[in-house]
Structure 1
Amino acid sequence: MDRIPITKEGYQKIKSELERLKTVERRAVVEAIKEARGHGDLSENAEYDAAKERQGMIEAKIAELESKMGKFEIIDTDNLTTDKVVFGVYVEIENVESDEIKKYRIVGPDESDISRGYISVFSPIARALIGKKVGDEVVVNAPGGEIEYEIINITKDA
Structure 2
Amino acid sequence: MAKVQYYTQEKLDELRAELHYLKIQGRADMAKQIAEARDKGDLSENAEYDAAKDAQGLLELKISKMEEIVANARALDESTIDISKVSILSKVKIKNRRNGMEVTYTIVSEEEADLKAFKISISSPFGKGLFGKKVGDVAEITAPAGKLEFDILEISR
TM range (shorter): 0.7 to 0.9
1:1-158 equivalent positions in 2, closer than 5 A: 1=1, 2-156=3-157
TM-fit CA distance, 1:37: 0.9
The amino acid across from 1:64 in the alignment is K
The amino acid across from 2:117 in the alignment is R
Ranges in structure 1 where 5+ consecutive residues have no aligned partner: none
2:76, 2:154 → 1: CA distance? 21
| Matched residues, number | 156
2:89, 2:13 → 1: CA distance? 15
Structure-2-length-normalised TM-score: 0.87
Deviation larger for 53-62 or 65-74? 65-74
What do you get for the CA RMSD once the two structures are aligned?
1.8
TM-fit CA distance, 1:114: 2.3
Structure-1-length-normalised TM-score: 0.87
The runs of 4+ residues in structure 1 deviating greater than 6 Å are none
TM-fit CA distance, 1:147: 0.8
Report percent identity of matched pairs.
38
Ranges in structure 2 where 5+ consecutive residues have no aligned partner: none
